Structure 1
Amino acid sequence: MELVYPPVILACKTLFRVLDLKLDVRGAEHIPATGGAVLACTHVSYLDFIFCGLAGLPARRKTRFMAKKQIFANRVAGPLMRGMHHISVDRSAGQASYQQAVTALKAGEVVGVFPEATISQSFTVKAIKSGAVRMAAEANVPLIPMTVWGSQRLWTKGRPKNLTQRHVPILIRAGEPLHPTPQDNQDQLTRELRTRMTTLLEKAQADYPDKPADAPWWLPAHLGGTAPTPEEAAARDTR
């Protein structure tokens, strides 16, 4: 029985209305109404799991996200994460969380992952891990590329959070699924997944309704923003 997830969803929707966030969800029809699926989403904000999960709601699906174990250790967030049946990831022993995700997928759950592993400070798609492809293949479920854009303006890595900011457009996009099998070349499929995630992100960036005249920090460098380049962001990640 879902005791925690429904009130959390209601609270988030209420907050979105209060802040008048301009939510624009497209491609939700790619998320199946039944059976397991992997949602592989770009990562520009600490809030992406909330917005990514919205794409499953039209199909009445609740997404179980894989998140680092430190969040589960938080005295406030931890009980909520466990109550919503999200999956704790210990990066020093990742096989257990991987198997937990595969078990959930085989049981018909939707599992959300961020294949970049960490937030992209360049607001482009970083190199991605192969885990999303591998678990979709092992569980024999569709792999759905996704992107969220605009959430970085509320709270992202290296910037002060601004959770009371109003009227921010948030674009959420789901693309056509991949259908990996254990016989496929998983490195090739991982590259294809990254290509599809990049295409979705770039389309969302092009469609974004806020077109500032200056060079905002929340735009990638190649679009005229002051975010670090991918090379600069990679150097920051190693510090």
Structure 2
Amino acid sequence: MDMADLVYPPVIAFARTMFRLLDMKITIEGEEHVPADGGAVIACNHISYLDFIFCGLGARPSKRLVRFMAKEEIFRHRIGGPLMRGMHHIPVDRDAGMASYKAALTALKGGEVVGVFPEATISPSFTVKELKSGAARMAAATGVPLVPMVLWGTQRFWTKGRPKDLTQRGVAITILMGEPLRPQRRDNQDAVSVELRTRMTALLDRAQREYPQAPAGPEDTWWLPAHLGGTAPAPEVVEAK
């Protein structure tokens, strides 16, 4: 075990304990798409401040520890910072983006799994926004698979513009992974990103339609996207703002 990975396993154990205490109904499918060894990029949708926990959980059946690219501010937090560094996550400094990109490439070449939220920010519409091309570029530059992943249900705990509620019991969480893309250096990475978004959208659509729980009443429809009858803002409304 890498010395720095003395931090990650206890964090996972703590998270699992919380999942049990809150009686979460967690469904994981497609875990075979995360390689058991070697580098890989996981590209995940972003609907909650807790997404990195559940994205990481999706890679656990393959016994992989995901190194997330996360905002540099978290690394400056007095509690979050030491944890993030201890788990080998990669700080993304908006002013020095190339340094974080190179750190991610080094991790991938070293056989690590790097987690990316290619939408860059939480999607208030709970649909997949347009993706940045970084995930595709990193996979192409290092010759590793690009694994699409989606989460659903995590927004019910804590999302943008809503008060957090971390004590709800029995919430269903869906984690789906799809067939990896294998982008090459010569590919147009913007086109790869469009294909990635198409696959993520199909996975999310499935997760939403097969989700085993419904809003408790009219005031609880905020966590459903507009196209499924929820009160989350439609993507075009979000983009118009």
TM-score normalised by the shorter chain: which range applies? over 0.9
Aligned-partner residue type, residue 163 of structure 2 = P
1:91-132 residue CA offsets vs partner (Å, 9 max, x unmatched)? 222111011001100000000000000000000011110000
- Correspondence list, 1:96-111, <5 A: 96-111=99-114
**Secondary structure, counterpart of 1:24 in structure 2:** strand
**Who is 2:38 aligned against?**
35
1:165-224 residue CA offsets vs partner (Å, 9 max, x unmatched)? 110000000100000110112111110000001011110001100123744100001110
The answer to whether 1:140 aligns with 2:138 is no
The answer to whether 1:158 aligns with 2:183 is no
1:151-173 residue CA offsets vs partner (Å, 9 max, x unmatched)? 00000000000011110000000
Q: Which of 199, 207, 215 pairs up with 1:196?
A: 199
Q: Which of 185, 190, 201 pairs up with 1:187?
A: 190
Shift of 1:50: 0.4
Instruction: Please give the alpha-carbon distance, in whole angstroms, between the structure 2 residues aligned to 1:63 and 1:140.
Output: 18
**Who is 1:4 aligned against?**
7
**Who is 2:48 aligned against?**
45
How large is the RMSD of aligned CA atoms in angstroms? 1.0
**Who is 2:76 aligned against?**
73
Structure 1: where are the runs of 5+ without partners?
none
The answer to whether 1:218 aligns with 2:223 is yes
Shift of 1:231: 2.2
Name whichever of 75-84 and 208-217 sits farther off: 208-217
Instruction: Please give the alpha-carbon distance, in whole angstroms, between the structure 2 residues aligned to 1:221 and 1:59.
Output: 35
Instruction: Please give the alpha-carbon distance, in whole angstroms, between the structure 2 residues aligned to 1:26 and 1:73.
Output: 34
**Secondary structure, counterpart of 2:185 in structure 1:** coil
- Correspondence list, 1:166-185, <5 A: 166-185=169-188
**Secondary structure, counterpart of 1:93 in structure 2:** helix
**Who is 2:239 aligned against?**
234
**Who is 1:94 aligned against?**
97
Instruction: Please give the alpha-carbon distance, in whole angstroms, between the structure 2 residues aligned to 1:127 and 1:92.
Output: 22
Inter-CA distance 235–90: structure 2 relative to 1 (3 Å threshold): farther
**Who is 2:60 aligned against?**
57
TM-score by length of 1: 0.97
**Secondary structure, counterpart of 1:225 in structure 2:** coil
1:63-109 residue CA offsets vs partner (Å, 9 max, x unmatched)? 00000001111111111000000000012221110110011000000
Instruction: Please give the alpha-carbon distance, in whole angstroms, between the structure 2 residues aligned to 1:234 and 1:89.
Output: 24
The ranges of structure 1 where at least 4 consecutive aligned residues each deviate by more than 6 angstroms after the TM superposition are: none
Instruction: Please give the alpha-carbon distance, in whole angstroms, between the structure 2 residues aligned to 1:121 and 1:184.
Output: 31
Structure 2: where are the runs of 5+ without partners?
none
**Secondary structure, counterpart of 1:205 in structure 2:** helix
Q: Percent identity?
A: 66
Aligned-partner residue type, residue 30 of structure 1 = H
Name whichever of 43-52 and 205-214 sits farther off: 205-214
Instruction: Please give the alpha-carbon distance, in whole angstroms, between the structure 2 residues aligned to 1:91 and 1:164.
Output: 33
